[in-house]
Structure 1
Amino acid sequence: MDLSVVAVAFMVAVVVGLTGMGGGALMTPALVLIFGIPPLAAVSSDLVASAVMKPIGSWVHWRRRTINLQVVKWLVLGSVPAAFCGVLILKWMGPGEHVQDAVRMALGVALLVSATLMVFRSYLKMAERAKRRRGVLAPEVNTGPMRIRPLPTVCLGIIGGVVVGMTSVGSGSIIIVGLMALYPALKSNQLVGTDLFQAVPLVTAAALGHTFFGDLDLGLTIPLLIGSIPGVYLGAQLSSRLTGGFIRRALAFVLLASGLKMLNVDNISTATVLVAVLVLAPVAWMLLRKRLGLPALATTDIRQVRKTLADR
């Protein structure tokens, strides 16, 4: 058994338990880039590990009643068959090196899309917070049952299912951003809870599809499970004590780097892009905060909130 795979699986699972994101987006590229695992085997093994990790986080949200089962129903209606279709697309492409290259390229694109959507999600949340502070949006209140949009929700499930079936990436990024657009009334904890709960049948379907078609490598999957189970439990425990904001920003940066390497971008170009992001992204984010009427630094915002609470 490769203990280094166990260690990496443990670290990735801690991030998943802490933020609800990053399973396939971190583990699959790590297996390919660090351990040299063929992309198809990496996707298959990671999906099986995710099928074990997802229910742990889902159970926490089930107990807290932060899951919208109506939304889950329509998502699963589209995502579960679509996940099988994603696997069938890979099998239809046939065996050979060209399939591995296609999976690698698809994974690279999915990683870059996931990183972009993570940043976009953070911006939407920041913009909503700014509007509430200015009184443009009313405080969140319970106004009765939320209107469900079946057709768009099923379509979102289909898109997410195909991407997850082919790359193992997307259940915690593509779908959750889609939910934000379709159901703006959902609170943050409801978004995460609903996304995690629907990801259980989605990832399980994709994992079963890869297992049935012979892509599963048990010698790789078992170390992933040994590291993932305690890691996701620890992350779930830490999630109530630590902020996931920094972890999410670091995760988006890692997704960008992994996506570029999956697309075979050379080292100099990759390093140039990453350095530019490290230098320019904080400045751009501060300008966006100022434009929305928030303090340039989040720490200043936090101090102001604490001072307001202390004065009451």
Structure 2
Amino acid sequence: MEFGYSLAGAFVGFLVGLTGVGGGSLMAPLLIILFGFSPAVAIGTDLWFACMTKAAGGLVHHRLGSANWKIVGRLALGSLPGAALTLIWLAVFHDGSLESGMLLKLLGAALLLTATLMLFKTQITRPLQRIRSRLEMAAGRLRRWQLILTLCGGAAVGSLVTLTSVGAGALVAVMLALIYPLRLSAKTIVGTDIIHAIPLTLVAALGHSWLGNVDAWLLGSLLLGSIPGIIIGSLATGKINDNIVRYALCAMLFVSGIKMLLS
């Protein structure tokens, strides 16, 4: 067990509990840049880390009643098949993982996308909220489009998470804010996001274990810090200025993403 790994796990776990974001977005870059692990092992191990960490945070959010289980189910109907198909594609066509240079570029692009969506989330969702509040769409038609968009978005996220371990947090949070602008509060989005990430990262993590991309000792060290970290973060939701946390996260993601792209 390495104290540095556990400290990194506690830091990332706290951010995941607080915001629903940070698992794959921060842990995989930390493992690659700070600790020197290969991209494939960093991503595979990070998926197990995200699964177990978010399971602890999901329990807290479930007890707080902050998740929308209907939307969790819709997301999973798209994301789990997307993850499974991506794993099969990796096994059949790429011997279990993409080439390291390709993984770094893909991870960097995913980090920059995540950071951009987090930074401009309000600017993206506010116009949609304004339009919807003024134009009352037929309830049945609206529900139909929400279902289709949630399934398709879930499938895209499932594939991206399986390839990079990034996307189960920030991308889903922004997607939910866009598709359900008046139905979900910020607290409900975080709870729904975290609970949906549990089965998604479990499927992806099992697949990466099958493909040989997981370091069990590293995982144990990360979890030693992350479990208490995410519990504390989940209990602190809404008690810390969201803008400060969001700007700090965006800055870290931008730096990590640029580093990945230039590696």
Q: Is the pair's TM-score, using the shorter chain for normalization, greater than 0.5?
A: yes
Inter-partner Cα distance in structure 1 for 2:213 and 2:228: 25
Tell whether 2:201 aligns with 1:203: yes
Aligned runs of 1:39-188 on 2, under 5 Å? 39-95=39-95, 99-124=99-124, 137=133, 147=143, 149-185=146-182, 186-188=184-186
Q: Rg larger in 1 or in 2?
A: 1
The Cα shift of 1:244 comes to: 2.9
The Cα shift of 1:151 comes to: 2.0
> Aligned pair in 2 of structure 1 residues 124, 60: CA closer, same or farther (>3 Å)?
farther
Q: TM-score, normalised by structure 1?
A: 0.75
> Aligned pair in 2 of structure 1 residues 73, 254: CA closer, same or farther (>3 Å)?
same
Aligned runs of 1:195-274 on 2, under 5 Å? 195-264=193-262
Residues 139-193 of structure 1: CA deviation (Å, up to 9, x unaligned): xxxx9xx836322211111000000000000011112211122111222222222
> Aligned pair in 2 of structure 1 residues 92, 102: CA closer, same or farther (>3 Å)?
farther
> Aligned pair in 2 of structure 1 residues 162, 28: CA closer, same or farther (>3 Å)?
same
Q: TM-score, normalised by structure 2?
A: 0.88
> Aligned pair in 2 of structure 1 residues 66, 18: CA closer, same or farther (>3 Å)?
closer
Q: CA RMSD in A?
A: 2.5
Inter-partner Cα distance in structure 2 for 1:57 and 1:127: 31
Are the aligned partners of 1:93 and 1:99 in contact in 2 as well (CA < 8 Å)? no
Aligned partner of residue 147 in structure 1, secondary structure: helix
> Which residue identity does 1:43 align to in structure 2?
I
Residues 50-74 of structure 1: CA deviation (Å, up to 9, x unaligned): 1111122222332233322222212
Question: Following TM superposition, where does structure 1 have runs of at least 4 consecutive aligned residues deviating by more than 6 angstroms?
Answer: 126-129
Residues 243-302 of structure 1: CA deviation (Å, up to 9, x unaligned): 23211111011100100010016xxxxxxxxxxxxxxxxxxxxxxxxxxxxxxxxxxxxx
The Cα shift of 1:109 comes to: 0.6
> Aligned pair in 2 of structure 1 residues 249, 215: CA closer, same or farther (>3 Å)?
same
Inter-partner Cα distance in structure 1 for 2:73 and 2:6: 34
Match of 1:29 in 2: 29
> Aligned pair in 2 of structure 1 residues 89, 102: CA closer, same or farther (>3 Å)?
farther
Unaligned 5+ segments in structure 1 are 266-312
The Cα shift of 1:124 comes to: 4.0
* Count of matched residue positions in the alignment of Structure 1 and Structure 2: 255
Structure with larger RCO (C-alpha < 8 A, sep 6+): 2
Are the aligned partners of 1:79 and 1:202 in contact in 2 as well (CA < 8 Å)? yes
The Cα shift of 1:202 comes to: 0.8
> Aligned pair in 2 of structure 1 residues 53, 96: CA closer, same or farther (>3 Å)?
closer
Aligned partner of residue 239 in structure 1, secondary structure: coil
